[in-house]
Structure 1
């Protein structure tokens, strides 16, 4: 019965494969459903290639055969038959070794290929025989041939998964479209302790999830905090419109880890929730720090000493960078210091999932370079005009005048030519307005703090090249010039771009010392450009330095910086809500005021009555108080008069007493003086008398002595 049914299925017209089961009669629908349940045999056959590949499962093992396209079909079918017999023989030999009774040797399998109900002749070459919709019969097993069916040729999950950060698988589809593919995400259940990442090793059956819980769909998945500690699995089915290929399952190597929580860029994302509406364009410029520079001792100990070692690891930083860039919903993204591997394996798959295509320019003899991404729904890439600035200076005739001036100082010239600084130039066309073009430039100038003269020359070369590209390829196209210019707002580079000229006296010409000085007047080939973000306080903040080094320059005559539409709408909505609330409040206030006025009138009448009564009481009280005051005043006056009289009497008495005392004192003094005088006079008299007596006595004695002497 089964053999007859298989033969009948092999003879089904090919048109059944393109019909929908719901549009077919009952019998045909059942047959088509049986046909659709056949295992697929994928055939890859491209014109111009000498080989084709056939892949299918046979006896539980995967067969992958590489054959010549011009080989007859019969040779390949015979090879499949031999492989089938060989596989059965190994299985029976294994059973014999295990002690089971021997079985007969397997007979050669019937291997045929049918198309549109007819068996394909064995002489037909493989390139013509294996057509889409054919049926391959190997013994009793039927395979539905899918020629150049959508297939995943690259499928990888990131090595590091953080909660709250988007997981963007690296996918590459052949014969299909990533936008048509089906994505289903699963989370490992707590009981699933098997760490083998292959579905064969875990014993999972396709279509039946053992140990896994479906948690989402879509190309990008953002793990939640509930996923921390669990691995993730992605089942991706490649498709191209209505055609589908074999699904592929990817299991993460590690479990989801806790993220850093709220990041500084989350606040900025509040202003970029939606894409900019045409004709507005949102542009982002970002130096994402190449891994080769993040792991140096200078970075760890001088530039980022505050940064934990794990935060400088590439896997960790990539998660933050991808989330930040995706959240800006930018139309043009210019990145500097992009590692080759990061561009191909991380950024491009992630940003591709958010609608961005990118191009890369590596620095000569470096592992990092410049990347420019653009939104494919708004722009298409017309041409690229990347250069290495030092090479262009010496090889392109348009820079001959500048080269001649620089050659005056051989030391400076050699220093400039040693630099591998690149300029990435992409000419894009607006898909919403064909014919309108924009020139997007991206660069990362010389880094040394004392290299202002080198940067001036590099910028001179860049501006000249950009002017030449626009004039030759896209006349009239506006310029958007992004990059890490390693130049502060007071530098010569900024002056050259914003003022279109740098005088020969500018200090940057001798920034690296007199031996490398090269004073010249440098003119820009563009009118003054405008820094779209003005001059932020800093775009670079590291140990020992913070300042503005990165810019997005635009031509103000063809582009202008607009306030975000979202911000305007939010402000308008807020103002409308405020006005409505104010009107409601005013109406409520009017009603309240009317009630208040009525109450006030009643209260006023009551207050008037109360005031009249109070006035009467107050008058009575005031009269009583006045009487008391008058009595008190009279008493005080009388007391004052009496006191005055008493004071006068006392004063008179005191004066009399004082006069008497003074008279007595004067009399006493006079008596004392008189006594003194009398005593003095008496003393004088006595002294005089004594003197006379003594003189008399002396005279007497002398007379006596004289008498005696003469006698």
Structure 2
């Protein structure tokens, strides 16, 4: 008796029946041999599910010109048919030892069996670099109970088992071989079908890292700062979530897009800046935990927040633990706070006047990371803000609202520390990928402190003369360089380090590279630039 799987998909309010079907003709020739997936609503009855399943198979048979084959189907318990008016969800939750029969094939029906819903392997695999499945998603499964296996093969026909854990590190013996990942999802009461994926390309050996243009910038940051000066870095490091295929960057080789390759260049670049504060965007969560955090731990302590508290990439702030003490860290998810936080009541009243703006705004996981640092050398507290505003090119209104809400919150934090930290100066540094060019309302808002903006409610109605403002005197530490983002589709300035002009002056901005260097390999990223963005590096001095 084979196995069929009947699952309740609560997130979509559906139930699905999955089983392997093989139908042959009188000559024992195979007509159908494939997995059948039949889906109905949770409240639909069993009769509807079985009828839908039969119709699905009939369509397949029609395509093979075998429409006359009879399809018998049943769902029984102890030899008795389950009543056809029973809801699908009820069968899953209350019936046991159910047998599913179709076309003379009999299956034991496994209820809510564990399932691997999706997983992929990295495009490029290197020896001596750990591999784990990307976007690994399961249903009704417990990872600690599930069974994992890794295999290698030279021809994808004969496989040799080489690992039995969730991660596997290829060795020199695996060079030029393909890699297969296999999982049997399990929970405390059941196990699901075998899931497997095979790498598209064989395992390679990574060559020596090249000399990179950012090393020229390191000539300006060879020593650490002290006293009244601090060095600040803002850098969108390009998440592997967006670079794991080269469809977005067709000019970049898969090898150069590999996170195992890029992470080494990113680390080398960051270390060479000898910074005191580093605000990073698009940092992969697991990469932060397993690579950047431990590799930088000798000099830096750090904080990481997933974007929207749910997406696998997010914001990271690294600070020189010899110079700063952490007082507080928080992430503000704009879409989660806008409707409930009294600080933003006025903005919410504005946003909800437009269904278009409201629907877009509340869907975004955009976040603000706020890290409060106290200097160990000076009587100074720095509020370090880090963000990555919504990216869409036509979403200027959304970005401006996000920026305004961010400064509202920073004003609140600033005033709170001003009241509680007598005798200490409170300053603000705001870093990030603002996805806004120097001519945008967002840039004007930060640099001028006030902006008049017209928001569109719908195609015929506008909200006019809305004045947004903030109390800070922000300057852009690196000015408005020609390029902080350099791709095939866009080349321009999107990233900034905004600093509090009441507290700081710019002691120096690390020079940017000439466009001839950026364009040498068409665009970024490439073999010598690990991200599509360019790091901003500025020396700030307390006044």
TM-score range, shorter chain: 0.5 to 0.7
Alpha carbons 1:286, 1:483 under 8 Å: kept: yes
Aligned to 1:457: 401
Question: Taking structure 1 as the reference length, what is the TM-score of the superposition?
Answer: 0.41
1:258 to 202, 207, 210: 207
Counterpart Cα distance in 2 of 1:559 and 1:462: 21
SS of 1:325's equivalent in the other structure is helix
Taking the aligned partners of 1:550 and 1:412, their CA distance within structure 2 comes to: 24
Shift of 1:384: 1.4
1:477 maps onto 2:426 in alignment = yes
Output aligned runs, 1:264-275, within 5 Å. Answer: 264-275=213-224
- Equivalent residues in 2 for 1:644-683, closer than 5 Å: none
Pairing of 1:336-347 with structure 2 (within 5 A): 336-347=281-292
Give the match's secondary structure for 2:297: helix
Listed one character per residue, the Cα deviations across residues 542-569 of structure 1 (whole Å, up to 9, x for unaligned) are: 012100000000011211100389xxxx
1:458 positional shift? 0.5
The CA deviation string for residues 187-243 of structure 1, in whole angstroms up to 9 with x for no partner, is xxxxxxxxx99xxxxxxxxxxxxxxxxxxxxxxxxxxxxxxx9xxxxxxxxxxxxxx
TM-score in terms of structure 2 length: 0.54
Pairing 1:370–2:292 present: no
The CA deviation string for residues 495-542 of structure 1, in whole angstroms up to 9 with x for no partner, is 11011111134xxx45x9837965452322223410000001010000
Q: 2: distance between equivalents of 1:291 and 1:350?
A: 18
When Rg is computed on C-alpha atoms for both structures, the one with the higher figure is 1
Change beyond 3 A, Cα 1:161–1:528: farther
Sort the Cα spacing of 1:456 and 1:402 in 2 relative to 1 into closer, same or farther, 3 A. Answer: same
Q: How many matched pairs?
A: 311
Q: Distance in 1 between matches of 2:448 and 2:329?
A: 28
Cα 1:517–1:528 change in 2 (3 A) is: farther
Q: CA–CA distance in 2 between the matches of 1:495 and 1:161?
A: 48
State the distance in 2 between where 1:284 and 1:551 align: 10
The aligned counterpart of 1:315 is 260
Aligned with residue 483 of structure 2, among 538, 548, 551: 538
Residue aligned with 1:535, SS: coil
Q: What RMSD in Å do the two structures reach over aligned CA positions? A: 2.8
Q: Which residue of 1 aligns with 2:338?
A: 393
Which runs of structure 2 are paired with 1:153-172 in the superposition (5 Å)? none
Equivalence for 1:597:
none
- In structure 2, what is the equivalent of residue 497 of structure 1? 446
Structure 2 residues without counterparts, runs of 5 or longer: 1-124, 130-161, 164-174, 176-202, 420-424, 511-543
- Point out the structure with the larger helix share: 1
2:301 maps to 357
Structure 1 segments of 4 or more deviating over 6 A? 158-162
Alpha-carbon distance in 2 for matches of 1:442, 1:159: 33
1:487 aligns to what? 436
1:427 touches 1:474 (CA, 8 Å); kept in 2? no
Mapped to 1, the partners of 2:270 and 2:433 lie a distance apart of 17
CA contact (8 A) 1:393 1:403 kept: yes
Deviation at 1:410, TM superposition (A): 2.1
Q: What's the CA shift string for 1:455-475, capped at 9, x where partnerless?
A: 011011000001101111355
Which secondary structure does the structure 1 equivalent of 2:402 belong to? helix
The 8 Å contact of residues 161 and 255 in structure 1, kept in 2 or not, is answered as: no
Among 231, 235, 239, the alignment partner of 1:286 is: 235
In structure 2, the partner of 1:590 is none
1:468 aligns with 2:408: no
How many angstroms does 1:257 deviate by?
Answer: 4.0
Distance apart, 1:256 and its partner CA: 7.9
**How far, CA to CA, are the matches of 1:448 and 1:551 in structure 2?**
18
Displacement of 1:436 after TM fit? 1.8
